[in-house]
Amino acid sequence: MTVIRIGTRKSRLAMWQTQSVADALEKRGIATEIRSMDTKGDKILEKTIAKIGSKGVFTEELEEQLAAGLTDIAVHSAKDMQSHLPPGFELIAFGLREKVNDVLVSDNVDLDLADSRRPLKIGTSSVRRVALLKHFYPHLETVDMRGNLQTRIAKMRAGDCDALMLAYAGVWRMGYGDMIAHTFDETTFIPPVGQGCIAVEAAAALPKDKRQQLRLAVNDAESETCLLAERAFLRRLEGGCSIPVFGLATLEGDELIFNGGLVSLDGATVLKHTLVGPRHTANEIGEQAGQYILDNGGRELLAKIRRQQDES
């Protein structure tokens, strides 16, 4: 009997996502075994992701299990995946994508972001969210907020901030939808690459029969097409969790519409580009959009961002 061994982080959200993959496999008669662990990104909460190092902070230990043959696959939030996977690893499936928007979570659902007379304090660990808030709502204050969703809500209720800025998908999956005070328009606050999507990673040596079974059970073709474009864009910019890159691909019939860009850390400069093309050219669309950003101020802005982060 085929058994798929699944590696995952221990957080409630990670376990929810992993269980959804396990359920999809078991519906097809494939037994599963879940092995959970804490990664570097889960253990080190007193530093920002940028300070820890953005490459593999949530994935490195899970990849070690894959390489050792202790697990067959690892389940991740697609937005946590670095632009270049280590040699010998690949993403083999993407789950059906959830709503992609950023949201504000608070016990006060009547928050007014535009009211500069009472500036709000927003908790977030994302450099992209901080930069975009500085651009669109410069009167707001942001505070670094690490930890799982439940930990962050506890910190908010202790007075560390007025609201948390998070991904809708995680908030909804954890049952906190009634605390959503504001939903940001995804055409303005363009999400990070992969937000709202579950990614399945495997070692290149995974047997073909297991790979095929996994794709049949888990992979959503439209989500995969969009993620191929977004990840190609991210690779071209060599972005990661510590770089304020954003990118979102959507499908309209046979066309793929990609919107992506880069924002300076202080929010003063926003570079954006939209590219439309046939859906079967998803990789090329993402690469071309990334090249456009690089050729139109992005290369210099990326160098500046990295200098500022090295100096801080």
CB atoms within 10 A of CB 2: 14
Q: What is the pLDDT of residue 109?
A: 87
CB atoms within 10 A of CB 118: 9
φ, ψ for residue 297 (rounded to 5)? 105, -15
- 168: tokens are 């809708």
- Cα gap 41→169, rounded to integer Å: 20
User: 192-217: per-residue pLDDT in tens?
Assistant: 999 999 999 999 999 999 999 999 99
φ, ψ for residue 84 (rounded to 5)? -120, 120
User: 34-74: per-residue pLDDT in tens?
Assistant: 998 765 544 444 444 455 454 455 678 899 999 999 999 99
DSSP bridge partners of 34: 6
Residue ranges of domains in the chain, CATH in brackets? 1-96+197-219 (3.40.190.10), 102-183 (3.40.190.10), 221-312 (3.30.160.40)
Give the mean model confidence (pLDDT) for residues 119-127: 94
CB atoms within 10 A of CB 33: 11
- 310: tokens are 């090295």
Q: Which residues are catalytic?
A: 80
Report angle CA 22, 26, 29 to the nearest 5 degrees: 150
Q: Among 83-87, 93-97, 226-230, 300-304, whose mean pLDDT is lowest?
A: 83-87
CB atoms within 10 A of CB 271: 18
User: 74-98: per-residue pLDDT in tens?
Assistant: 999 999 888 889 999 999 999 999 9
